[in-house]
Structure 1
């Protein structure tokens, strides 16, 4: 079966035998219902002279993942202008997020955009140590050559941490990073949505890779 038809089938839950994976694919990853938070963020962007059309499905999915898993603390690597950070912190005021961005211009925009969430969000230019319940990694964020991305993420994770990686098919380097993560035994469940990937580390699950 071609990858295209495999993705079409799996996206609808066909052939997915795990109850968790079935629900996660059909009710979280592919959920289409709008949330009030989406409209609140659109209005916030408009009020800050940022075009709401910059919002994409990846941002909505980020919100749904946090809304489903309820992580207490989040690490976002490659937080850029802070739009996705708004979605990560929208479902609960108790959720904290450390955004990592190296571009000074983007940091300046993010600090203004997120100024109303100073108690929840910290923006910095280096990846912090510590353990996080969720890690969102935009692979547009450039790390030093030969950096072991998997180990950077594992060192900052616990058994219940989940990851979302974006721009996994941007170039050879990002494809290689995603393949290494998918092949790693510690990545128990992976969900490959072509342009992004989601990883579940929970060791209670059998190792499976889903194309959706």
Structure 2
């Protein structure tokens, strides 16, 4: 436990110059970082969800609370989760749903990732694709992002376990705004925006 806290502290200190939107010129990106990614206000469901999933460590609780804020902000029609085990999906689904109770949830294992592409392309409304970085490759993720519409988000979870996927995808794609949050990456799809990649102290 103490070791994990030390590691998290070192990561935070290494990114101290990237706190709460410092240096971000875009008002849209600054607002997303300040009020969604790094919002410190204790949302209504945090305490209940922490009690519902006591096995989650500090990082997974932090990530879950981010999922809640993102869903609350985006109000997606659907969240598609790819490459997670049943326990992770149950917890993450609860956090996403706490932010947008009406969203449809689709959970797909790593061996069944290909059908996701058709789902993303054909389903109406706004989507969040939630992908487990260690369970996917850059080719698949690049193709998945290309199928998304303006306003869709991609959360590349457990990024710290497979940084190469993130670097490859962000390098290839145009017309995206991406946020490297160490534990996860967030991609926003918008053909009208110039490509930007921000490093965030999350």
Tell me the TM-score range normalised by the shorter chain: 0.7 to 0.9
**Which of residues 27, 46, 49 is equivalent to 1:38?**
46
Number of the residue aligned with 2:8: none
Deviations 1:132-178 (A, max 9, x none): 6110111232x4x78532113433x21221111112231xxx22210
8 A contact 2:78–2:127 mirrored in 1: yes
RMSD value, Cα: 2.6
Structure 2 residue 18 is the aligned partner of structure 1 residue 10? yes
SS in 2 for 1:94: coil
What is the rounded CA distance, in whole Å, between the counterparts of 1:35 and 1:70 in structure 2? 16
What is the rounded CA distance, in whole Å, between the counterparts of 1:63 and 1:101 in structure 2? 22
Query: What TM-score, normalized to structure 2?
Result: 0.77
Identify if the C-alpha distance between structure 1 residues 36 and 176 changes in structure 2 by more than 3 Å, giving closer, same or farther.
Answer: same
Shift of 1:184: 2.6
In the TM superposition, what are the counterparts of 1:39-188 in structure 2 within 5 Å?
Answer: 39-45=47-53, 51=55, 53=57, 55-80=60-85, 81=87, 82-101=90-109, 126-127=112-113, 128=115, 129-131=118-120, 133-141=127-135, 143=136, 147-155=139-147, 157-170=148-161, 174-186=162-174, 188=176
Task: Give the stretch that moved more between structures: 18-27 or 4-13.
Answer: 4-13
Shift of 1:67: 0.8
Higher helix share: 2
Query: What TM-score, normalized to structure 1?
Result: 0.73
- The structure with the largest alpha-carbon Rg is 1
Structure 2 residue 31 is the aligned partner of structure 1 residue 23? yes
Unaligned runs of 5+ in 1: 103-124
Structure 2 residue 191 is the aligned partner of structure 1 residue 191? no
Deviations 1:41-66 (A, max 9, x none): 23333xxxx53547421111111111
Identify if the C-alpha distance between structure 1 residues 23 and 101 changes in structure 2 by more than 3 Å, giving closer, same or farther.
Answer: same
Shift of 1:11: 2.0
Shift of 1:75: 0.5
Shift of 1:201: 0.8
